[in-house]
Structure 1
């Protein structure tokens, strides 16, 4: 009997040990509920985001005691989070309610939001009048009566330092701030202590690195003059301008650590040169244009002064071309380049065949970071066959135009816009076979619909007009056309507008195009793009707004790569003519516009 009792006790102990081991292996599962935060959406979100109880739901503690310890750690975090939003009286407590699994209940009593009562700005030695710069309250942001939020206090401090750095105090920095909480009045008093440092003017510039590029080229890009009032904005703009040249791999522009006794502060420019040569290739394909391959070769520092030579070649079913362009920077004046170009181009379209030689030169002047103007002259000798009739042309053009580009990326823009306007007269008095005047204007706009820029609404419009000669008298390759992957998707290449008896495009003297698409990066590197395009070509000098546009709609796929998105678009015409194909497919690199 005694042996049986001992055996029973041993079995029970073994069972308890096994149960404890099983619980230790699986942990102590639970769920979480927050009470008292329904009326404080921002605090509720911050509490949940900072909660280990929430983030570690799939990693439960080994026991109930472990859960309580986790909750206790969370309560301290919740109080810190609440204070950062101005809830200085906030209280949190936790309890475990029975259930399967148990429920960890966090009960919050946020209390009132404290307000800013007073803001003081003092120097580090506590003399409030020591900062002799106007500090506009609007830029500082923090105002008496505003919620006592920690983020706003830090933002205001950064704004004060920034204002000083923009107004002759490049070495300004924040000292130790003090915050006084009045729990009776439910207010917060903030005192900022700022070390403005000495006032300074731009001094000598030292350029290091990128020794194969003339240092004067970098110096000419800097947007300030020796002796001007020091301004951090000009330093930042100088960095952007040097980066935009494409000559340098890395760019560093910074003030030195000390102001000289003469009140001048040196500027240090540290550069790393990009590899001067690059080569690349691409492919494209569409149902209307067939397959094509292109290649390029670039030299970014041809003669040591950042001269750029580009050579491009393309072979496809509709085009064979070899073109080159030499860009000479700072010609005659800074921010003005001279571009020499030329090419051999053969086109084989349904409307015409052409072979031509082109040469030209133009000046391109950068007015600002986003605006540039250009003007020049071109000479073309062409032989064009249309309706089995071959005609030779000599055209001398005087193109002039401007570009406004506020977009953030060349191949995959997500914000900003691009406007390009060009006017080119071709005059018999200069040696042209025929006189006429061509004008085109194009604009595209990009709007990100979310903070991550995964959803972008893009739209575009284009208008063109040729005056001085009828459509039939214009060289076929100078007429206006629409239709294809670069204009109105869903229609064959150049197939929108007047057609001859055989269904081939004639082209026109006026053009109107519109389009919109929603670029949605769905997951990872993949996205979809629903789109709609419309356009028309007219035999008149001005678009006839009473004539219906040819519309098309479609869906595209995007695969995003470091060099730009790979594009695949499928489009169908919405109001097709009898001669139009039922659909079109396009493959290429980069967005449609």
Structure 2
């Protein structure tokens, strides 16, 4: 059988004496190119090199044995639940002092035959339990991989959190082969914790903003069932406020005596920058100077009016007033923001 060879170039790290006694590692191929690629990428060469650098070249067997067990767990995580990695003894012909061959024996790939979620008896409604069960049944027939187990955990946690159980956690998870068949039972044990409702929101970090102003952005009322989607909408609404730079919403560690979550919203306001102040002052001053110049021209030119005409055109009367109004507004706004940041 062909081999995938990784030659331990330890002479670069630990000198020629150690390199001569610490063997190279050869990993035999399997029937799956995908699995072979995973194993090649996972072979922990740096760790073995560090073991050689430790100077105990004659004691390489424990390090390689640990690597063998790690590769076994990796293969089982790909759905080969009965997989093993064989390594001959150093005294055998296949295990000389300068080369060791690791032989993966995968066996059949297992698929999900059943999903069990324990701990749902404490969930208040049948609707939530049925929803979780339907979602879990979608995994039946898929390879019993470790990433599938992680995905199922996330699905269970998310569905219970959206059902007002914010403190749910997984206490146990396992893949159990079904005897005599290449099928496995996925078993997940959860602890739902207490059902929760929204409580009051306490704000911190406010400088120029008012609590009642931010409270109008809340998409829930006190006493509504907790839902993380609603909480995320609240965070996005706060971030959408023009004076808010950053938001962090904190949940308490437990519900209070009324079954409510007393939330805390930490607000960082968007402070006025010095360059913004200077720029707006310049704009205001330009507007003020322009208005004064227009008024001066008007006053100096009054004597030039034709007989029988007592006033300038309406647009020439209005423009200086608008320029002065804009100037006073910009300057007053910047002064207020400097006096009351945020």
Q: State the TM bucket, normalised to the shorter chain.
A: 0.5 to 0.7
1:200 and 1:265 in contact (8 A); partners too: yes
What does residue 276 of structure 2 align with?
Answer: 297
Equivalent position SS for 1:180: strand
1:201 and 1:227 in contact (8 A); partners too: yes
What does residue 151 of structure 1 align with?
Answer: 147
Superposed CA RMSD in Å reads 4.0
1:33 and 1:106 in contact (8 A); partners too: yes
Q: Distance in 1 between matches of 2:136 and 2:205?
A: 38
What does residue 66 of structure 2 align with?
Answer: 73
Q: Distance in 1 between matches of 2:49 and 2:138?
A: 38
Residue 231 (structure 1) shift: 0.7
Q: Distance in 1 between matches of 2:73 and 2:46?
A: 17
TM-score by length of 1: 0.39
Equivalent position SS for 2:172: coil
Q: Map 1:92-491 onto structure 2 (within 5 A).
A: 92-94=85-87, 102-123=98-119, 132-133=127-128, 134-135=130-131, 140=136, 143-245=139-241, 247-248=243-244, 250-260=246-256, 262-273=258-269, 276-279=271-274, 296-297=275-276, 311=279
What does residue 30 of structure 2 align with?
Answer: 37
2:81 and 2:109 in contact (8 A); partners too: yes
Name the structure where helix makes up a greater proportion of residues: 2
1:150-173 Cα offsets, whole Å, 9 max, x none, are 221122122112112112333333
1:202-242 Cα offsets, whole Å, 9 max, x none, are 22212223344322333233332333332111212322333
TM-score by length of 2: 0.63
Give the one of 82, 85, 90 matched to 1:89. 82
Residue 53 (structure 1) shift: 3.2
Equivalent position SS for 2:273: strand
Give the one of 43, 46, 62 matched to 1:51. 43
Q: Distance in 2 between matches of 1:135 and 1:107?
A: 44
* Cα distance change of structure 1 residues 119 and 45 upon mapping to structure 2, 3 Å threshold: same
1:204 and 1:226 in contact (8 A); partners too: yes
Q: Distance in 1 between matches of 2:160 and 2:225?
A: 12
Q: Which runs of 5+ in 1 are unaligned?
A: 1-20, 280-295, 299-309, 314-321, 325-341, 345-354, 356-393, 395-593
Q: Distance in 1 between matches of 2:142 and 2:115?
A: 11
Count the aligned residue pairs. 270
Name the structure where strand makes up a greater proportion of residues: 1
Residue 75 (structure 1) shift: 0.5
Residue 90 (structure 1) shift: 1.0
Q: Distance in 1 between matches of 2:25 and 2:280?
A: 63
2:48 and 2:63 in contact (8 A); partners too: no
1:148-198 Cα offsets, whole Å, 9 max, x none, are 112211221221121121123333333334543334323221232323334
